[in-house]
Chains A and B, each alone.
Chain A
Amino acid sequence: MNDINEKLSALFDGELSPSETDDLLTMINDDDVQERLKDYAQISAMVSEKGVEESKTNLISIKFPDFLQYRPWLSNGMSAAAAILLTVFLINPSDSGRLGFNSEAQSEIQAAINSDEAKNNIIRIEEGLLEHMFDVLDQSNLSNKNQFNPNLTNVGFQNRLNRPGHYTNGQENFYMHVATKDLGLKKVRYWKSGKNMVYLFPLPNGKVLTLYGNLSPEEANRVINSINIK
């Protein structure tokens, strides 16, 4: 039985050969097999989710985790992405001029915030960009070849050791990424969530440069202006 259970453990991890997988799949309706797999799934959920507390917390009040602290497991990034759907707020309109914020979209979204369908409207309007932010937050999905890692020492930021795209000046940390797909972004957009900011800068050819971290708009502006983007 232990041998079977060890195989089930490996099956759960997707580490069996196709032929071994086929053999065990024929047993999937066996109660004992199902119970064992369910146990493994529960253990996995309990230890890999940041989750238990989070799942009991009202989503609106979930703290946006600082992924710059390097949380290695997928669920954190994805939980954060889920949370941001309902925790995203536009920053004060008076700040918008500094980064060329799209005031039309801002008004539209702020109107939505005040409506009964606020969340839905926000989600619809922002869906494409939020989808992009999913990928930013879930760093496991980012391809290294898209990593943008310029030297920012001229504006006081050092690249973090062995972590391309991650920068710090000791107090402020952020992550930089370039999305290669055209998101239709025409103006700089930025959001506040918890202590962090997400800045999206349109680049030539429809690409989008993303900065995420505890950067002020001024610092983000300095950083972006220091980069020679072609």
Chain B
Amino acid sequence: MNTKNNNEDSYLIEKVKERNQDAFKLLMIKYQPRIYSALYGYVKSKEDAEDLTQQVFIRVWNKIDSFRGDSAFFTWLYRVAINIAKNHVTSAGYKKQKLNISDEIANFEYPHFDSPELSIESSETSKIIKDFISSLPEILKTAFILREYDGKSYEEIAEIIDCPVGTVRSRIFRAREAILDFIKEELSNE
């Protein structure tokens, strides 16, 4: 069961509620790939998935006060995305609508994920990366998997593998760096 702390984003969310755009940008960067991937699954169109992803975050910005923290932020975000996707796929003769976007949000620079070697549409790339993760040193792999697959907090991981929280933080970081190095060095040569 996913035991990720529902409050891991709570500080950022509170900042967003105070209309802090930097905090919002961080949340967008963090969740955009997963939201895009989910929406792409609905609409089968990169362009539409990008449009809808943007709509999701516009709605989040406008409706963030309605997030009460009863569930994980990603759960709520995902529901927003699903609702938007539902409206999209079920609207007969769907046409792009002009969005009602405030100046504040219109001036936002939306993060783009255009790194070809990290394309989330490449299942082959995903498999290669997962294979690489399996080959990581045990101490890095364990911490990374507990975090990314099981959603454990650093404190929970520290208890599980019986080491200080700082060590967990370091190991997860080193695992991520190793994965990035692998991607940049190996996959970019293909």
Q: Which residues of chain A have a CB within 8 Å of any CB of chain B?
A: 5-6, 9-15, 18, 21, 25-26, 28-29, 34, 37-49, 51-59, 62, 70, 72-75, 77-79, 81-82, 85-86, 116-117, 119-120, 123, 134, 138-141
Contact = CB atoms under 8 A, between A and B. Distances in A.
A38 B86 contact: no
A74 B72 contact: yes
Q: Chain B at the A interface: mostly helix, strand, loop or mixed?
A: helix
B149 A46 contact: no
Q: Chain A at the B interface: mostly helix, strand, loop or mixed?
A: helix
A25 B22 contact: yes
Contacts of B90: 117, 119-120, 123
B26 A25 contact: yes
Interface centre among B9, B92, B122, B173 (most CB of A within 10 A): B173
Contact of B75 (A5, A49, A85, A141): A141
A55 B38 contact: yes
Interface in B151-165: 151, 153-154
Contacts of A42: 33, 113, 115, 118, 120
Nearest to A77: B2
B12 A21 contact: yes
B111 interface: yes
A53 B123 contact: yes
A62 B89 CA distance: 16
A14 B42 contact: no
Contacts, number: 192
Contacts of A11: 26
A25 B30 contact: no
B31 interface: yes
Interface string B1-12: 111110111111
A73 B149 contact: yes
B154 A15 contact: yes
B129 interface: yes
A26 B15 CA distance: 13
B40 A55 contact: yes
Contact of B1 (A39, A72, A82): A72
